[in-house]
Amino acid sequence: MLRHNSILSRILTMPIEETKHIWMDGKFVKWEEARVPVLTHALHYGTAVFEGIRAYPALDDLLVFRLRDHVARLLESAKMYYLDHAYTSTDLQDAILELLRVNKIRTSAYIRPLIFVGYGGIGLNFTGFPIRAAIAAFPYGKYFEKPELKVCISNWRRISDESMPPQTKASGNYLNSVLAKLDALKSGYDDAILLDHRGSVSEGTGENIFVGKNGRFATPPISSSILAGITRDTVLRLAQEFEIEVVEREVSRMELYTADEVFFTGTAAEVTAIVEVDRRKVGNGQIGKITRKIRDAYSELVNGLNDRHLDWVTKVYEG
């Protein structure tokens, strides 16, 4: 019973520290007044696309990491699902920065823009229904409670392009991640890795994955049904600069069990070491040397301490 409770409490964590305002359809509204009708299409059919963006307090300011790239992916996801809205990339970037200022956020924060099909009737065909947008931003710390994760390989397969595009950050896609994540937590793991429809390693429930052996790393390619992560792209660039070999190629399940180092990347997860897969230790069961190096370099980068990549951070207050 105790064990069950402690597992459950882990599942129930992550309360949100609410802020004053939410941006909704072009206006700032009070947090508690940002509501939608029960018959909102997205609520029934998952017809929404979203982003997860982080901001870090640094350089006497608040820095949003790769804002333009996140908004670009949001617009691509919206296009994929015919969510015809009127917002440009600049509109959404400005709205995000203004929202952070309106809420006077100066601590580590998470930003969640969402474009969704509103209420216009019932049924799948949403032609003529309102396409709505909302952005929430709130203080946010670590996604994982631990710096080193014990994960399992889920027996749910990652959705494939044959059924719905895994490269869109569409709300409906996340039912796949939710199944894998909750099953993993209920079995006592910290998270899950999903295989693709062919049985190759795909990614985590909300993270991409890197696998290293003898100092050389591999990460599954787009064709392994991954979301093309912005953190993944950042880590690929960092690795190149450190002259660490990383190849984008199919990764087998066996490679996870015999790797020296494995880590997740994601906006929420940042760079997080995996030290156990299906109860088998990764390397010596502790964070690997290269993982630590990349994790620390990523942390410097998002905190505006890497001069080569200042174009990836946007100042909220001075900018």
Ligand X SMILES: Cc1ncc(COP(=O)(O)O)c(C=O)c1O
Q: Which positions are catalytic?
A: 169
Least spacing, CB of residue 309 vs ligand X, in Å: 15
- Tokens coding 238: 């960092």
Q: What minimum distance in Å lies between the beta carbon of 268 and ligand X?
A: 6
- Residues in contact with ligand X by CB under 6 A are 52, 177, 203, 206-208, 227, 229-232, 265-267
Residue 232 or 295 with smaller CB distance to ligand X: 232
Extract the tokens encoding 59: 């350089």
Cβ proximity to ligand X: between 132 and 232 the closer is 232
**Residue 121, beta-bridge partner list:** none
Residue with tokens 């802020």: 19
Q: CB of residue 207 vs ligand X: minimum separation in angstroms?
A: 5
Cβ at position 295, least distance to ligand X in Å = 14
The closest alpha carbon to 144, from 307, 274, 317, 314, belongs to: 274
Do residues 137 and 202 lie in contact, with contact meaning Cβ atoms separated by under 8 Å? no
- CB-wise, 109 or 230, nearer to ligand X? 230
Pick 193 or 227: Cβ nearer ligand X? 227
What is the rounded distance in angstroms from the CA atom of residue 260 to the CA atom of residue 214? 7
Please tell me the distance from the alpha carbon of residue 31 to that of residue 18, in angstroms, as a whole number: 7
Q: Positive or negative CA dihedral for 214, 151, 180, 75?
A: negative
Beta bridge partners of 216: 213
Strand partners, 276: 150, 281
Residue appearing with tokens 């882990």 = 10
Do 55 and 63 touch, CB atoms closer than 8 A? yes
What's the token pair of residue 243?
Answer: 């002259």
* Nearest residue (CB) to ligand X, 283 versus 301: 301
> Closest distance between ligand X and the C-beta of residue 70, in Å?
7
